[in-house]
Chain A
Amino acid sequence: MCGVEVFDSVKQLGNGEYLQFLTDTAERESMTKGLAVVMFSGEAEKFIPLGVLTSTAVNLGMPVRIFVTGFALPYFTKNKPEPRFSKEFEDMVPALMEGMKRLNLPTWYDMLKEAKEAGDVKVYVCSMMAEAMGLKKEDLDPIVDDVVGATYFMSNIEGYEVIFI
């Protein structure tokens, strides 16, 4: 709806309705427009928040744009390395794995896949890192939408909340 049409319909509102309209509009406009995730780390535990936050953003109706770069990139190829956890927190891994199994949690990959089916989620691979690692488009996992540069990514996330993982 264009601005003039909105103005015309607002003029017909009563005082109370008009105040409610202003409050609703202000609330809507202060809401986050979308979620942008720069996925850099390769440690297995860092993929959990990627899955959870993507799925949550989609549940709230927000678009999600993921930029895969750094050590995360090999996990977005057809030839994924074994998951590896941070050495620093190695002693916590068994309890974490056991708890996740008990809760029957989906894997980060399944969460991402489901979020892509349900909402507006795009997975982009950093063109520079793909080049540096000698990866071609056909080497990438089908979950990846495209190989793009940082400029494309940044110009498509205006007003989004940005998270670096």
Chain B
Amino acid sequence: MGERIVVDAKGMACPGPITKLVKAYRKAKSGDIIEIYATDPGFKPDLEAWIKRTGNELVEISEEGGVIKAVIKVTAK
């Protein structure tokens, strides 16, 4: 079982949330789960592009009250 890493990028503007995600990703190991929260309106398409480029797995993405929650499984390491 991998670790679960929670990243709070609420209030950050582009490219802040992705930069914060990448920081956590660098330290993560294969099998880890990154759970990230963001409010940037461009976060969803940005994250999907990052997932496509890096080949990691997007397990879940949802939005509630203007906060986007995404769960990523580290698979490309």
Which residues of A come within 8 Å of B, CB atoms?
31, 52, 55-56, 58-61, 103-105, 114, 118
> How many chain-B residues does the 8 Å CB contact rule pick out?
16
- A55-B19, A103-B13, A114-B19 given; A61·B54 CB < 8 A: yes
Beyond the given pairs A59-B15, A59-B19, A60-B53, 5 more chain A to chain B contacts, judged by CB atoms under 8 angstroms and listed by A's residue number, are A59-B21, A59-B50, A60-B50, A61-B53, A105-B16
- A59-B15, A105-B13 given; A118·B23 CB < 8 A: yes
CB of B34, distance to nearest CB on chain A (Å): 14
For A59, list chain B residues within 8 Å (CB).
Answer: 15, 18-19, 21-22, 50
- Nearest neighbor of A27 in chain B, beta-carbon distance: B52
Q: Residue B15 contacts which of A31, A55, A104 (CB distance < 8 angstroms)?
A: A55
For A60, list chain B residues within 8 Å (CB).
Answer: 49-50, 53-54
Q: Could you tell me if A31 and B19 are in contact, using CB atoms closer than 8 angstroms?
A: no
CB of A101, distance to nearest CB on chain B (Å): 12
